[in-house]
Amino acid sequence: MNLDELNSLSEAEATHGFMQCCTASNWVEMMVSSRPFANGQELSSKADDIWRSLGEYDLLEAFEGHPQIGNVDTLRAKYANTKALASGEQSSVSQASEQVLQDLADGNAEYLQKFGFIFIVCATGKSAEQMLSLLLERLPNDKITELVNAAEEQRKIFQLRLQKLI
């Protein structure tokens, strides 16, 4: 799809498209109603402006749209060494050790218990070891700091997805 096609979608189709980028319903509604976008930069800027206007409820709703990395089998599949990763997003990911996978699963569980939402990070291009390092760096934070961190990571994620959308 290109930008002209996005601008021409029905409200329902546009809602579906934006929902693939971010599951915060208020963000999606405002993105749909902000069309048409003159160019990709306007789309990107508007997405950021809307995101920054949202409250904690909206952030948590967006975070819930991500699968929780909670068990070693899921992590093993995610970080398996493969040459066919979609769009090369995780091309720098190497095969992770069982210990790193277990530590990620344990850290994710601890994070959820402490903050009440899952660990959000823009994983594109990050190895399992890098993800674990980021998780361990963020675990000592307080909830407000972590909401800010997770919101910024979510912003990075939807910006990548918007680029893919058009």
**Residue-range domain boundaries for the chain:** 68-142
Contact predicate 96/129, CB 8 Å: yes
Q: Is the pTM of this model over 0.75?
A: yes
Each residue's pLDDT tens digit, 122-139: 988 888 899 999 999 999
pLDDT score recorded for residue 73? 67
The question of whether 16 is a catalytic residue gets the answer no
Each residue's pLDDT tens digit, 4-27: 999 999 999 999 999 999 999 999
Structure tokens given for 46: 């508007």
pLDDT score recorded for residue 25? 97
Please state, in angstroms and rounded to a whole number, the distance separating the CA atoms of residues 159 and 40. Answer: 11
Of the residues 14, 66, 121, 128, only one is catalytic, namely 66
Count Cβ neighbours within 10 Å for each residue of 113-144 and write b for 16 or more, e otherwise.
Answer: eebebbbbbbbeebbbbebbebbeebeebeee
Please state, in angstroms and rounded to a whole number, the distance separating the CA atoms of residues 72 and 69. Answer: 8
State the CATH class of domain 68-142: mainly alpha
Q: Measuring CA to CA, which residue among 50, 81, 80 is closest to residue 151? A: 50
| Percent of the chain's residues with pLDDT above 90 | 71
pLDDT score recorded for residue 107? 95
Residues in the chain: 166
